[in-house]
Structure formats: C-alpha cells, structure tokens
Amino acid sequence: MKIFVLADPETYLAFALAGIKGRAVHSDSDVLTALENLDAKKIALVLITEALAEKNRQVVDRILLDPGGPLILEIPDTKGPVSERRTATERILSLVRR
C-alpha cells in the first residue's frame, strides 16, 4: 500500500522527511490537479490537510465515494486542527444523503 500526502509546504516537509511521497501545494489548482491525477491502482491512502480538503470538498467527496478509489484521511496542518470541522457522523450522513 502506498501513501501519498497533499499538504502545504511546511506540513509536506514533515512527511517528506519521514519518506512519504506526495506534493506540496501552493494553490487550489494544484490540489485539483493532484487529486484528479491520482493512480488508484498504486495509491491506497491519501493524506490531505483539513484546510485543503475543505477548499476542494466536492472532489474529495467524489473520490471517497468512488468504488476502488483510495481512502482519503484529513489531517491537521502545522496550524492545528480546524475548529469548526463537522464530526465524522455528520460527514457520513451528508455523504449517504446524496
């Protein structure tokens, strides 16, 4: 199983030092490009910062609901967790209602 990280440059650096491949994101278009070009056969887990995931919610949700696609885990960035983030139960219910 391969892990891929999408994060701001500071957060990405921490993962890169641990040997995890990924991409430092400098703009929203970088996130969209990286998510749309993921190789689901090679990458099983995508770590993405909460802030980037929230800005690209539709694409993240589409990948999560795609059978056979990678699992996406939202992680805090160097500034800490997002305070107004919905709970896991609220997220699951919103995905099921679609």
pLDDT of residue 22: 93
CB-count burial class (<10 Å; 0-12, 13-18, 19+) for 5 = buried
pLDDT of residue 98: 64
Residue 88 binned pLDDT confidence (cut-offs 50, 70, 90): low
The tally of domains found in the chain comes to 1
> What's the token pair of residue 96?
């099921």
Contact at 8 Å (CB) between 12 and 44? no
Task: Check which CATH number belongs to the domain holding 48 and give it.
Answer: 3.40.50.10580
For the residues of 10-45, what is the DSSP string, one character each?
HHHHHHHHTT--EEE--SHHHHHHHHHT--TTTEEE
pLDDT of residue 89: 72
- What's this model's pTM, rounded to 2 decimal places? 0.80
User: What domain range includes position 18?
Assistant: 2-96
d(CA 26, CA 31): 8
* Residue 47 predicted with pLDDT over 70: yes
